[in-house]
Amino acid sequence: MASQAILLLQKQLKGTHAQINPSHAGLVDEKNIFEWNVTIIGPPDTLYEGGFFNAIMSFPQNYPNSPPTVRFTSDMWHPNVYSDGRVCISILHPPGDDPSGYELASERWTPVHTVESIMLSIISMLSGPNDESPANVEAAKEWREKRHEFKKKVSRCVRKSQEML
């Protein structure tokens, strides 16, 4: 199973280098295909515009049957990002029915997802937070009730990400 994952990840890594999209991907360690450094550029016309947000994408040995995890290593203030940087979006949740009944099985992980589709989903998440099912309750509350404060915190994250270049 791991050899299938290795071949698929090698192919997807080459594909991300060939794609022109608002992101970058590479290996954390050349000897470990299962852990990638990714950089997501804040999408235009959003609060995150101009930011360069780094994250680690960790793939399980049985990829693509199970989803990777994605954790921002850059500061990130967002309703769908836990305080430790872990991204919480439906396509990164294990396949099948949601035990809490919030998500449809069709919204969760399926083996057809690729690194590119994951990164596009994260870019989409930055463009439109889901405050109905937050990973960061404080950020979601601020997004709903104190938008000015939310914007100030995101602006700090963007500036800090630019300084890290």
Q: Which residues are catalytic?
A: 88
Secondary structure element (H or E) that encloses residue 161, with its range: helix 147-163
- What is the full DSSP assignment across 59-122? --TTTTSS--EEEESS----TTB-TTSBB--GGGSPSS--TTS-S-GGGS--TT--HHHHHHHH
69: which 2 tokens?
Answer: 């995890």
- 52 vs 111: CA distance, rounded Å: 28
- 78 vs 38: CA distance, rounded Å: 18
